[in-house]
Amino acid sequence: MSSYSHSQLIRDEAYRLGFDMIGFAKAEFMDTEARRLEDWLNQYYHGEMHYMANHFDKRVDPAKLVPGAKSVISLVHNYYTEKQQEDSEAPKISKYAYGKDYHFIIKDKLKSLLNFIRNEIGAVEGRCFVDSAPVLERDWAKRSGLGWIGKNTMLINPKRGSYFFLAELILDLELEADQPMKDYCGTCTRCIDACPTDAIAPDGYIMDGSKCISYFTIELKDAIPESYKGKFENWMFGCDICQEVCPWNRFSKVHREPAFDPHPDLLTMSKQDWEEITEEVFKVIFQKSAVKRTKYKGLKRNIDFLK
């Protein structure tokens, strides 16, 4: 079979497994991205996320992760939902964390896809990645033609918006590469104008992670600086502001993955319920959720900061 035939075979199976988009790129050293990442780190835009500075060589060279790597497969899994928290005054959670932890759901699908490739094509060396390893996932998705990296630094697709998870397979298998897509942000500055903490550079395309609400509410383990009091617009875990205002998200489609549906109690909790949440309730609602990353203590800190 040709590399084109292999690509089509893998594409069809990815869709069958529930992925919404798939693209292919040649596995090679990421020279431009390496320079940009180095500059970003030198500006300390990663804040206390020290892991971002680790394994630099692996982030920009797929052969360091999979010896003999020839292709990077980028996959997109939609998580958009029209469901909302019922109390408009309740502290808010980013849509990506409504359901079960995406790392586990998507990793299982990736493993199934890798097994399929080995069964149908033969001995292929490869690894699966879901936002938990030194992989520049947005850059690979861009190279794979799945969208462009917008002014809010999110991957944006003109037919699907940006509410999706990214995942990768790095293989030592030659595949037909896709072509990158042009940038369609144009003169729009809605994400820049809407960010309450000025985390996005004035001209866009650079995110100061140390100013992002998601960073403060998820990554930061210390106390949130008092200088940001009143600037979180009621977000207690993550933040969707730059996605909510993005015009391209009018094309977002509701996901088809039951595991990403929220716990029944999550959407009905009132502002008072959240302010009085106990560790027992936290464990029930977020039993298999990405919110567990911040732990009960961290979520309480975030809620108290909003008062």
Predicted confidence at residue 155, as pLDDT, reads: 98
283 lies in some domain: no
299 lies in some domain: no
pLDDT tens digits, 155-204: 999 999 999 999 999 999 999 999 999 999 999 999 999 999 999 999 99
Predicted confidence at residue 268, as pLDDT, reads: 97
Q: What is the mean pLDDT of residues 284-292?
A: 95
269 lies in some domain: no
Segments forming the whole domain that contains residue 251: 1-84+93-262
Q: What is the mean pLDDT of residues 37-42?
A: 97
241 lies in some domain: yes
281 lies in some domain: no
Q: Is residue 131 flagged as an active site residue?
A: yes
Q: What is the tally of structural domains in the chain?
A: 1
Predicted confidence at residue 272, as pLDDT, reads: 98
Q: Among residues of the chain, what percentage have pLDDT more than 90?
A: 97
Q: Which of 61, 87, 108, 131 is catalytic?
A: 131
119 lies in some domain: yes
Identity of the amino acid at 275: E
231 lies in some domain: yes
* Cα–Cα dist 132/153, whole Å: 18
Identity of the amino acid at 143: R
Q: What is the mean pLDDT of residues 242-261?
A: 97
Predicted confidence at residue 4, as pLDDT, reads: 84
Predicted confidence at residue 132, as pLDDT, reads: 78
pLDDT tens digits, 204-239: 999 999 999 999 999 999 999 999 999 999 999 999
Q: Is the pLDDT of residue 133 over 90?
A: no
Predicted confidence at residue 306, as pLDDT, reads: 98
CB contact set of 246 (below 8 Å; sequence gap of 6+): 150, 152, 154, 156, 161, 162, 190, 191
280 lies in some domain: no
Strands 235-237 vs 92-93: parallel, antiparallel or unpaired: parallel
CB contact set of 222 (below 8 Å; sequence gap of 6+): 48
pLDDT tens digits, 76-104: 999 999 999 999 999 999 999 999 999 99
Mean model confidence pLDDT for the chain: 97
